[in-house]
Amino acid sequence: MNILAFESSCDETACAVVSAEDGLFKIKSNTVASQVDIHRLYGGVVPEIASRAHTEAISRITYEALDVAGVTLRDIDLVAVTANPGLIGALLVGVSFAKALAVRYGIPLVGVDHIKGHIASAYLKDGRAPAAPQIALVVSGGHTAIYRVNSLNDVRVIGTTRDDAIGEAFDKIGRIIGIPYPAGAGFDALAGEGFVKTVGEGEGYFKRFRKSEIYKQGELALPSPALRDGTLDFSFSGLKTAAINLIHRYEMRGDELPRAEFAARYTYEAVEAVYTKLKEALSYEENADCEMILAGGVAANSHLRARLGELAREMRRKLTVADRSLCGDNAAMIAVAGFYEYERGRIQDSSLNASALDGIV
Ligand code: KG4
Ligand code: ZN
C-alpha cells in the first residue's frame, strides 16, 4: 500500500510517500520545508509564525512529494497525519489538510502520535521493525523519554524528563554561548573540539574525559540530569541553571569561558545521564530480551550515538539508530507509525482533532 503522510507539529512542514508491502517500508519521497531560518531571528520557535508558515507550505510540498514519488492521489491507500503532541495551531494545519484530502478522495485516514513517529524512524533503517520488544530512547527538542516498545501499538513510557527536554537544554545554553538556533548541531561540533582538546581523538573518549584534569578540577563542574531517586527519570533544568550560573561566574570575573571545554562537559553530563538510565532500564529482568532504539532530533548527536554504541556492546544488545537524515521531524516516520494505526483498525473520520498534549495510546 502507498501511505501519504503529513507532519506539522513544530517547525518543519513535511510530506512523504512511503510504501508498505509485507512489513517492508520503502520511502518513495520525503519532502521537508524547514522554518528554522524564520524562527532563528527570534532565537526559538514562535507558534503563530509556525502555523502561518505551515499553511503557506503544505500544499506545495504535497505536490512535490507526490511528484517525486511518481504517484497521484488516486494511488494513495492511506493518509497519515501527526495529531499529537505539538503546537496546537501548527498541528491543526496538517490535520485539517489531511482530513480534507482523505474525505475528498475517499482515502482511509489515521492520526499519529509524534513520538511513535520518532520510534518508527528507526524502523526505516532496515525497512522493517527490529525484533520486539525494544527499549527506545526518544530525545528531541520537546521530549526526553525511555519507552518499552512491545510493538508500535503497545508503547509504555518507563522514564521521562520532569522538566526540560535534552534538545531544549542544548538549544538554550547554545544560544547563550553564541550558537544560532537550533543550537544542537553547532553544540555537537563545539563539544567535539572540547573533547579532542582535553583527551585527544579515538574511541572511549567519554571514559578518558571523566579521568581528565579539567574534569577533576571542578572549574567547569555541572550536575548530572539523571535523578537519583530509584526512577528512570531526568531533570535537565538543573543542568541548564547550573550552566547559566557557571557562565555568569566567568563573566563576573572578567575571564573568557573556555567554550569548547565547557560544551564538552555539558554534553558529557547530558549524554552520560541518558546512558546511565538506559543501562539501568536494560538491566531490569523484564527487559533482558530487549533490543535498543535511539531516535529523535538529538539522536543526530555524534557523542550520544558513540556512547550508546558503547552501551550496546557492553550490554550485548542490538542498537538501531535512526538515520541522521530521519532523526529530525519528517513525514516518512509518520507514514510508518500510521501503518500500525491502520493495522489495528484505528481509522478516523473527519472528526479527527489535534491535541497539544502527550499521551501515547
Ligand atoms: O525531533 P526534532 O526535530 O523536533 C522535535 O520534535 O522537537 O528535534 C529538534 C532538536 C533541537 O533541539 C535540535 O537542537 C536538536 O534536535 N538537534 C541536536 C543535533 N541535531 C539536532 N541536538 C544535539 N546534537 C545534534 N547534532
Ligand atoms: Zn520531533
**Helices 237-253, 166-176: inter-axial angle, 10-degree rounding:** 10
Inter-residue contact 6 to 14 (CB < 8 Å): yes
Query: Assign residue 155 a region: left if phi > 0, alpha if psi is -120 to 50, beta otherwise?
Result: beta
The tally of CA atoms less than 13 A away on the side-chain side of residue 119 is 33
Residue 105, helix vs strand vs coil: helix
The pLDDT score that the predictor gives to residue 359 is 82
Closest ligand by atom to 141 CA: 1
| CA distance linking residue 182 with residue 163, whole number of Å | 19
DSSP-derived secondary structure letter, 348:
B
| CA distance linking residue 143 with residue 245, whole number of Å | 24
Report CA(140)–ligand 1 centroid distance (Å).
5
Residue with grid cell 507526490, as numbered in its chain:
66
Which residues make Cβ contacts (< 8 Å) with residue 351, sequence separation at least 6? none
Instruction: Provide the b/e sequence for 277-309 (b: ≥16 CB within 10 Å).
Output: bbebbbeeeebeebbbbbbbbbbbbebbbebbe
Q: Which atom of ligand 1 is nearest to the CA of 329?
A: 3
The pLDDT score that the predictor gives to residue 162 is 97
Report CA(32)–ligand 1 centroid distance (Å).
15
Report CA(300)–ligand 1 centroid distance (Å).
7
Q: What share of the chain is helix, strand, coil (3-state, %, to 5)?
A: 50, 20, 30
For ligand 1, say whether the CB of 192 is within 6 Å of any of its atoms: no
Inter-residue contact 336 to 123 (CB < 8 Å): yes
Which residue has a Cα nearest atom 11 of ligand 1? 141
Report CA(306)–ligand 2 centroid distance (Å).
21
CB atoms within 10 A of CB 250: 15
Residue with grid cell 512523504, as numbered in its chain:
16
Length, in residues, of the chain: 361
Inter-residue contact 154 to 340 (CB < 8 Å): no
What are the structural domains, with CATH classification, of the chain?
Answer: 2-125+326-343 (3.30.420.40), 134-321 (3.30.420.40)
- Please give the chain's pLDDT, 361 residues, in tens: 999 999 999 999 999 999 999 999 999 999 999 999 999 999 889 999 999 999 999 999 999 999 999 999 999 999 999 999 999 999 999 999 999 999 999 999 999 999 999 999 999 999 999 999 999 999 999 999 999 999 999 999 999 999 999 999 999 999 999 999 999 999 999 999 999 999 999 989 999 999 999 899 889 999 999 999 999 999 999 999 999 999 999 999 999 999 999 999 999 999 999 999 999 999 999 999 999 999 999 999 999 999 999 999 999 999 999 999 999 999 999 999 999 999 999 999 999 999 999 887 6
Residue with grid cell 495510546, as numbered in its chain:
361
For ligand 1, say whether the CB of 301 is within 6 Å of any of its atoms: yes
For ligand 1, say whether the CB of 171 is within 6 Å of any of its atoms: yes
Which residue has a Cα nearest atom 2 of ligand 1? 297
For ligand 1, say whether the CB of 183 is within 6 Å of any of its atoms: yes
CA angle 293, 35, 236 (to 5 degrees): 45
Which residues make Cβ contacts (< 8 Å) with residue 339, sequence separation at least 6? 1, 3, 18, 20, 25, 78, 80
For ligand 1, say whether the CB of 98 is within 6 Å of any of its atoms: no
For ligand 1, say whether the CB of 333 is within 6 Å of any of its atoms: no
Q: Which atom of ligand 1 is nearest to the CA of 165?
A: 12
Residue 161, helix vs strand vs coil: strand
DSSP-derived secondary structure letter, 109:
E
Inter-residue contact 227 to 235 (CB < 8 Å): yes
φ and ψ at residue 329, rounded to 5 degrees: -60, 135
The model carries a pTM of: 0.96
Which residues have C-beta under 5 Å from ligand 2, the single-atom ion? 140, 329
Task: Pick from 298, 321, 323, 324 the residue to mutate for probing ligand 1's pocket: most ligand atoms within 8 Å of its CB.
Answer: 298
Report CA(207)–ligand 2 centroid distance (Å).
30
Which residue has a Cα nearest atom 23 of ligand 1? 184
C-alpha cell recorded at residue 25: 517500508
Closest-CA residue to 243 (of 154, 176, 311, 148): 176
